[in-house]
């Protein structure tokens, strides 16, 4: 079926163009983008960033072939009836980590990620609890001020001198970026700083990290505010779902929530410059990131370069005053040289909670 899907989407893109094809088909596929370990989402993000029509068709075909329907969790249109279980992604992680019902306990003996995922998604109570966490943080009604932010779609938004482009100065655009910023902080913290004894960097959490760039690229193309909410919910599930499936490792210290980008821009010209993601290109800062980039390219697993590139992207976009992204990148190049260096199994540390 993949070949038939690819032929269809390639023709649609040829006839209508990249932007129109994406806006036509992505909303109907959004709820299934978790399938294939985020790869369809990640590929579509690259397609938009680099204006690559071939990659867009491949991403859509990938999404159709690996569709994993999460509509029950992210598509609710009347969340006023759903209790708000968490007001921050880290609080949602803490709720999952502390749950003793067994609903969030993955089968640590099962070697396959997809099988572990199917196991937890087959539990109605887990789905209900996860829905409360996801929709509570990103509610749809009353509609939160989450709007697309515009970017330069004719060039890569990753520039060593200017950083990613976030040109929407509206309150809605900045609040959207703040929500994604907080999701990024929490996802990177779980990826890089899990304190479970002997825990290696997790292969699946690495994909949750790289998928964040895709969401940043995709949001400006979503004209319906409901789809922007769905996209942010999908990204939150990427964090909460993988954390659950991978065994709910011991959470590290909570990352300090960054100052709102909107408030930064209102404060002063200097803070405005920080908020627009101009990188800190002091000599020492540049040198250490150049060293990490060089080491990432030399690694014998291509996921290393993708993760480091994502972390460098976040540094450019949000700033890195606490060195969170640098430390995560350094740990990645220090610990991962070949594919076998990743952890692929679920941690057993929280099995006693069931």
**DSSP letter for each residue of 149-173:** ----TTS-S--TTT-S-----SHHH
Predicted confidence at residue 177, as pLDDT, reads 79
Distance CA 155, CA 64 (A): 27
Distance CA 338, CA 310 (A): 19
- The three-class DSSP label of residue 68 is strand
Distance CA 293, CA 159 (A): 14
Structure tokens given for 331? 């740990």
- Domain end among 238, 258, 280: 280
Distance CA 165, CA 147 (A): 16
Same domain (yes/no): 63, 182: no
Is cis: bond before 142, omega within 30 of 0? yes
Same domain (yes/no): 163, 48: no
- The three-class DSSP label of residue 77 is coil
Q: At what angle do helices 302-318 and 203-218 cross, to 10 degrees?
A: 50
Is 176 within the bounds of a domain?
Answer: yes
Distance CA 122, CA 103 (A): 10
Q: Which of these, 4, 10, 120, lies nearest to 64 by C-alpha position?
A: 4
Q: pLDDT below 50 — which residues of the chain?
A: 142-158, 160-163, 169, 171, 260-283, 350-354
Same domain (yes/no): 140, 63: no
Contacts of 37 (CB under 8 A, 6+ apart): 113, 204, 207
Is 325 within the bounds of a domain?
Answer: no
Same domain (yes/no): 102, 185: yes
Distance CA 82, CA 170 (A): 29
Is 319 within the bounds of a domain?
Answer: no
- Tokens 């999404």, residue? 63
Contacts of 160 (CB under 8 A, 6+ apart): 279, 281, 316
Q: How many domains does the chain have?
A: 2
Distance CA 183, CA 190 (A): 11
Is 308 within the bounds of a domain?
Answer: no
Structure tokens given for 68? 């994993």
- Domain end among 280, 305, 333: 280
Same domain (yes/no): 168, 62: no
Same domain (yes/no): 136, 8: no
Same domain (yes/no): 16, 131: no
Same domain (yes/no): 164, 254: yes
User: In the beta sheet, which residues pair with residue 68?
Assistant: 33
Distance CA 79, CA 255 (A): 28
Is 255 within the bounds of a domain?
Answer: yes
Same domain (yes/no): 52, 96: no
Q: Which of these, 300, 303, 305, 295, lies nearest to 338 by C-alpha position?
A: 300
User: Can you say whether the dihedral through the CA atoms of 64, 136, 145, 187 is positive or negative?
Assistant: negative
Is 286 within the bounds of a domain?
Answer: no
Same domain (yes/no): 90, 48: no
**Which residues span the domain enclosing 46?**
2-69
Is 184 within the bounds of a domain?
Answer: yes
Same domain (yes/no): 116, 248: yes
Same domain (yes/no): 37, 136: no
Given a contact cutoff of 8 angstroms between Cβ atoms, the answer to whether 187 and 38 are in contact is no
- Domain end among 263, 280, 297: 280
Distance CA 18, CA 25 (A): 11
């Amino acid at each position: 079926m993949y070949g038939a899907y690819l032929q269809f989407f390639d023709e649609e893109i040829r006839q209508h163009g990249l932007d129109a094809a994406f806006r036509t088909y992505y909303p109907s596929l959004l709820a299934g983008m978790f399938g294939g370990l985020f790869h369809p989402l990640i590929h579509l993000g690259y397609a938009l960033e680099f204006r690559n029509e071939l990659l867009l068709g491949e991403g859509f075909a990938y999404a159709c072939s690996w569709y994993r329907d999460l509509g029950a969790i992210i598509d609710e249109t009347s969340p006023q009836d759903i209790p708000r279980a968490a007001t921050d992604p880290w609080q949602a992680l803490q709720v999952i980590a502390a749950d003793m019902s067994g609903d969030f306990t993955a089968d640590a003996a099962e070697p396959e990620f997809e099988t572990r995922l199917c196991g937890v998604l087959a539990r109605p109570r887990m789905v209900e609890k996860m829905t409360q966490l996801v929709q509570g943080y990103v509610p749809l009604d009353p509609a939160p001020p989450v709007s697309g932010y515009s970017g330069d779609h004719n060039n890569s938004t990753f520039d060593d001198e200017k950083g990613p482009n976030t040109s929407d100065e509206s309150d809605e655009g900045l609040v959207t970026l703040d929500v994604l910023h907080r999701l990024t902080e929490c996802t990177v913290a779980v990826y890089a700083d899990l304190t479970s004894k002997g825990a290696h960097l997790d292969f699946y959490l690495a994909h949750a990290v790289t998928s964040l760039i895709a969401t940043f690229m995709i949001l400006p193309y979503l004209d319906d505010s409901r789809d922007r909410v769905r996209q942010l919910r999908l990204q939150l599930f990427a964090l909460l779902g993988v954390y659950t499936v991978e065994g709910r490792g011991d959470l590290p210290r909570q990352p300090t929530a960054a100052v709102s980008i909107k408030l930064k821009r209102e404060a002063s010209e200097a803070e405005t410059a920080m908020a627009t993601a101009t990188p800190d290109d002091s000599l020492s800062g540049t040198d250490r990131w150049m060293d990490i980039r060089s080491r990432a390219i030399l690694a014998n697993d291509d996921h290393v370069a993708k993760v480091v590139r994502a972390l460098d992207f976040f540094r450019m976009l949000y700033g890195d005053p606490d060195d969170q992204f640098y430390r995560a990148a350094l740990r990645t190049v220090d610990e991962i040289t070949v594919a076998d260096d990743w952890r692929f199994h679920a941690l057993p540390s929280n099995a006693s909670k069931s």
